[in-house]
């Protein structure tokens, strides 16, 4: 059976396809052209906690259409192409267990007693 190589990466090909990086004088020309231009972000606020809270406030109460909800259900869990059989790393299971959490609390308590 012959494999179709269309779109596959072929070895020994140059990744930059002959493009050369401009030398320092050309880069300096670009710097000089942009000097004095205002920044594209000038006068705009940065995305921070305030903006996140505003966006989440606006999104509250919005619902997806039944069609969208149906599509989401079609690719959830075992029906997803990335499903790996419901494996959970043993370390994650241990750390999520109640016995482990109780042991951590006890160890923290003992350390505090020894310090104080």
DSSP of the chain, one letter per residue? Answer: -PPP-TTPPPTT--SSTT-----HHHHHHHHHHHTTPPPTTTTPPP--HHHHHHHHHHHTT----HHHHHHHHHTSGGGSTT--SS---HHHHHHHSHHHHHHHHHHHHHHHHHH-
What would the pLDDT profile of 47-100 be if each residue is shown by its tens digit? 788 888 999 999 999 999 999 999 999 999 999 998 888 888 888 889 999 999
Evaluate if residue 113 carries a pLDDT over 50.
yes
What pTM value is reported for the model? 0.32
Evaluate if residue 1 carries a pLDDT over 80.
no
Q: Hey, what are 43's tokens?
A: 């006068």
Q: What is the pLDDT of residue 16?
A: 65
């Amino acid at each position: 059976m012959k494999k179709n190589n269309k779109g596959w990466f072929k070895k020994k090909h140059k990744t930059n396809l002959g493009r050369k990086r401009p030398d320092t004088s050309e880069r300096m020309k670009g710097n000089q052209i942009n000097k004095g231009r205002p920044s594209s972000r000038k006068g705009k606020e940065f995305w921070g906690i305030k903006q996140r809270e505003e966006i989440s406030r606006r999104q509250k109460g919005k619902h997806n259409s039944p069609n969208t909800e149906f599509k989401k259900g079609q690719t959830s869990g075992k029906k997803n192409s990335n499903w790996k059989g419901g494996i959970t790393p043993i370390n994650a299971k241990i750390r999520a267990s109640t016995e482990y959490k109780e042991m951590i609390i006890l160890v923290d308590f003992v350390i505090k007693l020894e310090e104080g």
